Amino acid sequence: MTTLSPETLSALELQGIELPSWAFGNSGTRFRVWSTAGTPRDVFEKVADAAKVNEFTALAPSVALHIPWDKTDDYAALRGYAEGLGVKLGTINSNTFQDEDYKFGALTHHDDRIRRKAIDHHLECIDIMDATGSRDLKIWLAEGSNYPGQMDMRARQDRLADSLQQIYARLGDDQRLVLEYKFFEPSFYHTDVPDWGTSYAQVAALGEKALVCLDTGHHAPGTNIEFIVMQLLRLGKLGSFDFNSRFYADDDLIVGAADPFQLFRILVEVVRGGGLNNPDVAFMLDQCHNVEDKIPGQIRSVLNVQEMTARALLLDRDALDAAQAANDVLGAQAVFMDAFSTDVRPALAEWRRSRGLPADPMAAYAASGYQQHIAATRTGGTQAGWGA
Q: Which residues bind ligand PSV (CB under 6 A)?
A: 22, 93, 140, 180, 182, 215, 242, 250, 286
- Backbone φ and ψ for 86, nearest 5 degrees, come out as 85, 15
Q: Which is nearer to ligand PSV, 52 or 219 (CB)?
A: 219
In angstroms, what is the minimal distance from the CB of 372 to ligand PSV?
Answer: 28
Q: Which residues pair with 245 in a beta bridge?
A: 253
Binding at 93: pick from Mn ion, ligand PSV, none (beta carbon under 5-8 Å per type): ligand PSV
x/- binding map, residues 209-248, to Mn ion, per CB under 5 A? Answer: ------x--------------------------x------
Cis peptide before 61 (omega within 30 of 0): no
Whichever of 24 and 140 has its CB closer to ligand PSV, that residue is 140
Among 124, 250, 259, 328, contact with Mn ion (rule: CB under 5 A): 250
d(CA 152, CA 147): 11
Q: Which is nearer to ligand PSV, 93 or 163 (CB)?
A: 93
49 binds Mn ion (CB under 5 A): no
Closer of 135 and 311 to ligand PSV (Cβ): 135
Residues 256-295 that bind Mn ion (CB under 5 A): 286
Q: Lay out the sheet containing 136-140: strands in order across.
A: 19-20, 62-66, 88-93, 136-140, 176-180, 210-215, 238-243, 282-285
Cα-Cα-Cα-Cα torsion 295, 303, 86, 75, nearest 10 degrees, comes to -60
CB of 124 to ligand PSV, least distance (A): 16
293 binds, among Mn ion, ligand PSV, none (CB under 5 to 8 A by kind): none
Contact assessment for residue 109 and residue 142, using Cβ atoms and an 8 Å cutoff: no
Residue 22 partner contact from Mn ion, ligand PSV, none using kind-dependent CB cut-offs of 5 to 8 Å: ligand PSV
The span from the CA of 377 to the CA of 39, in Å, is 10
Pick between residue 278 and residue 383 the one whose CB is nearest to ligand PSV: 383
Least distance in Å: CB of 22 to ligand PSV? 6
CA dist 61 and 55 (Å) reads 9
* Adjacent-strand bridge partners of 20: 64
- Taking CB within 5 to 8 Å according to partner kind, which of Mn ion, ligand PSV, none is near residue 382? none
Question: In the complex, which residue's CB is closest to ligand PSV?
Answer: 140
Taking a C-beta distance cutoff of 8 angstroms, is the pair 162, 112 a contact?
Answer: no
Least spacing, CB of residue 150 vs ligand PSV, in Å: 21
Chosen from ligand PSV, Mn ion, none, partner binding at 136 (C-beta under 5 to 8 Å by type): none
CB of 116 to ligand PSV, least distance (A): 21
Residue 357: left if φ>0, alpha if ψ -120 to 50, beta else—which one? beta
| Residue 338 binding partner per list ligand PSV, Mn ion, none, with a CB distance cut-off of 5 to 8 Å that depends on partner kind | none
225 Cβ contact list (under 8 Å, min separation 6): 214, 216, 219, 262, 265, 266
| CB nearer to ligand PSV: pick between 277 and 383 | 383
Closest Cα partner for 54 from 79, 19, 4, 93? 19
For residue 381, what is the DSSP state?
P
Beta carbon nearer to ligand PSV, 182 or 272: 182
- Binding flag, residue 18, Mn ion (CB under 5 A): no
Based on the number of CB atoms within 10 Å of its own CB, is 364 exposed (0-12), middle (13-18) or buried (19 or more)?
A: middle
The rounded distance, in Å, linking the Cα atoms of 206 and 19 is 27
Residue 125 CB, nearest approach to ligand PSV (Å)? 12
Least Å distance, CB 360 to ligand PSV, is 29
**Amino acid at residue number 113:** R
Site string for Mn ion, 61-90 (x = CB under 5 A): ------------------------------
Q: Which residues bind Mn ion (CB under 5 A)?
A: 215, 242, 250, 286
